[in-house]
Amino acid sequence: MKFETTRFGSIEINSDEVFIMPEGPLGFPDCTRFVFIEEDGTHPFRMMQSLDKPSLAFVVVDPLMVKNDYTFSVTKNDLKQIKADDVEALHVLAIVTMAQEFKNITVNLQGPIVINTQARLMNQFVLVNSPYTTKEKLLADGQDAESLINENRSNKSLITKKAM
């Protein structure tokens, strides 16, 4: 399938590369189909490109790049939304707010995107009573961009399952 995008022009997508977000990301309920695009030289960032709105693409990153102890809990109902039986099949990303200077880039850790890679379903969760904000600094004080880019952390075990 071919899709026209504002940022990437015409892109060829296989159906098995499409992820469905039934409720859309916050503020974009009509945007439910996405693909992830990795551009050369942009690691650790990826683009979450909407297939419903050509101009909509979010920069996303592994939240462990921002906080190496990042965790949150989900309920059985949360898991049902993305047809997951367990947290082991899930992957987590966070939306990045870009800035002119690298040191001013922020990451939304209060609204993680949780992805069931097997079912190709995802949802943006809003963490209530969370220690995280929507504007966490990408770089810790004194950290430089190169050290962030060279870190290689696994995205597993970010989520714990609440007993409910």
Q: How far apart are CA 132 and CA 109, in angstroms?
A: 6
β-pair partners for 29 = none
Q: What is the per-residue pLDDT for 19?
A: 97
| Domains delineated in the chain | 2-159 (2.30.290.10)
β-pair partners for 17 = none
pLDDT tens across 86-119, in order?
888 799 999 999 988 888 899 999 999 999 999 9
Q: What is the per-residue pLDDT for 113?
A: 97
First to last CA, the chain: 41
Which of 25, 21, 27, 31 has its CA nearest to residue 52?
A: 31
Give 76's contacts (C-beta < 8 A, 6+ positions apart): 161, 162, 164
Predicted TM-score (pTM) of the model is 0.86
DSSP characters for 123-144?
EE---TT-S--S-EESSPTT--
Letter string b/e over residues 130-139, b meaning 16 or more CB atoms within 10 A of that residue's CB: eebeeebebb
Per-residue pLDDT of the chain (164 residues; tens, 9 = 90+): 898 999 889 999 999 999 999 999 999 999 999 999 988 878 888 999 999 999 999 999 999 988 989 999 988 888 899 999 888 879 999 999 998 888 889 999 999 999 999 999 999 999 999 999 999 998 776 666 666 656 544 444 344 444 33
